[in-house]
Structure 1
């Protein structure tokens, strides 16, 4: 039964990516190239460069355990939130800076890049994780001792402890993360477009703050439900702040009827 919930959660995440992409492509004519650049930006910064740093600094063991996480959890939390913020926001800045050299940045670039970044993150962090859970759940259900022996016991215990609520909570977190990535993108977009580094620094701080709750959960300082509640509050606050810094651009788009050069 748990496998069904995992598949539904995967579809929910996938729909959260595809529906906005199709909508904004058809109605706002966002650039698929910029969407892809958003995905590339996330992949290179988070899955390649940041992972290299993690291997050097954290030195994870074969079973996934990290000494720093248990020996000095606060230092681990600080490192985790800082690394994610620096790598991902810098990738945004580099790509927007390159685009700005080619042509003026448009509002649609912010939407497209944010969607691309959020989509690939949802794929790697959400859908791939859920797919792994689904495969392991099948193995656990079948009870093949030989196959189970090849899987770390901690992973098996984790899957066995999962229920529908925890699965949909994970999907909810990924859906919130997509919105967060779009909103954070506009802070760096504004920093590059207006040559105002203060917005880039703000993006770094906001990113680190938003990642704080999940990082605290990793070291056992916060329960999952509290993390999602905090993330929801942070998203609402981020929507308000982002609308505030984009007030001029939103007003221009409204006055010009969302013209193609907006």
Structure 2
């Protein structure tokens, strides 16, 4: 098993890009939007709790531990519906609770939207996703690739079953510069979506609209439908990625046009 050096270089560059994207965006927008670092920390904490703990525990129970639900969710349509809803419900409930707390801290639940909080929170939430789902996973595969090139991989994986070892070898064999590019595009698109969802939620909370929670869950679920369809074998990856990149570009343009720094001036008063 050998991973080409050019593939390792591309994977490393893509991983660095994803790792520094939220950090660089925060630094760039911090002053014009008067970010409060606590908003960003809240976003990181919510993703860590609701996505990596609660959502994973729920998936583990329904997809593996509970035989009845696991059997039911083998149906592709049922899996797509569940896969699209579970992330939306877990993450948006957490986002809603956090933003209600942030709004109370600021003493304002109505009036003109202060996109500063939504953007700062979104960078934290989306940045945590970029690191937990993207950077840390890719670092693991880069580490495995280096071990494979040294001939030490099987010894490092000696505590795994043969099926797991074969799966690792299969994934390493499929790594390529194209894989690195797809990874960077997917993580960037997901980051943009998280910021957009955060701004949407923050504006709804500030306006005092309780309906913003089901709306955000629905929007999040719709975004996750193509990914769930790919996992269920109903859509090819190229179609899913093309759709996500297109939607992310639209979302980024809307954010750029509607989130102006002047809307954060009231926060500095």
Residue 16 of structure 2: which of 4, 11, 35 is its match?
A: 11
Deviations 1:104-128 (A, max 9, x none): 2632100100000011000001101
Residue 130 of structure 2: which of 122, 134, 159 is its match?
A: 122
Q: Secondary structure at the match of 2:265?
A: coil
Question: Is 1:73 aligned with 2:81?
Answer: no
How many residues were matched structurally?
A: 251
Question: Is 1:206 aligned with 2:209?
Answer: no
Q: Distance in 2 between matches of 1:48 and 1:148?
A: 26
Contact between 2:192 and 2:251, CA under 8 Å: does it hold in 1? Answer: no
Deviations 1:38-94 (A, max 9, x none): 00011111001111111211117xxxxx96598322212211110100011111110
Q: Distance in 2 between matches of 1:242 and 1:195?
A: 21
Unaligned residue ranges in structure 1 (runs of 5+): 61-65
Residue 177 of structure 2: which of 150, 164, 174 is its match?
A: 164
2:103 maps to what in 1? 100
Distance 1:243 1:10, change over 3 A: closer
Question: Is 1:147 aligned with 2:160?
Answer: no
Q: Distance in 2 between matches of 1:116 and 1:127?
A: 15
Q: TM-score, normalised by structure 2?
A: 0.84
Q: By how many angstroms is 1:31 displaced?
A: 0.8
1:63 maps to what in 2? none
Q: Distance in 2 between matches of 1:165 and 1:68?
A: 35
**Larger relative contact order (C-alpha < 8 A, sep ≥ 6)?**
2
Q: By how many angstroms is 1:162 displaced?
A: 1.3
Distance 1:43 1:148, change over 3 A: closer
1:87 maps to what in 2? 90
Question: Is 1:59 aligned with 2:64?
Answer: yes
Q: By how many angstroms is 1:148 displaced?
A: 4.5
Deviations 1:10-42 (A, max 9, x none): 111022111111111233220111100000011
Distance 1:70 1:203, change over 3 A: closer
Contact between 2:115 and 2:203, CA under 8 Å: does it hold in 1? Answer: no
Contact between 2:50 and 2:91, CA under 8 Å: does it hold in 1? Answer: yes
Q: Distance in 2 between matches of 1:238 and 1:6?
A: 26
1:218 maps to what in 2? 231
Q: Distance in 2 between matches of 1:89 and 1:233?
A: 23
2:265 maps to what in 1? 259
Q: Distance in 1 between matches of 2:29 and 2:252?
A: 19
Q: TM-score, normalised by structure 1?
A: 0.86
Q: Secondary structure at the match of 2:30?
A: helix
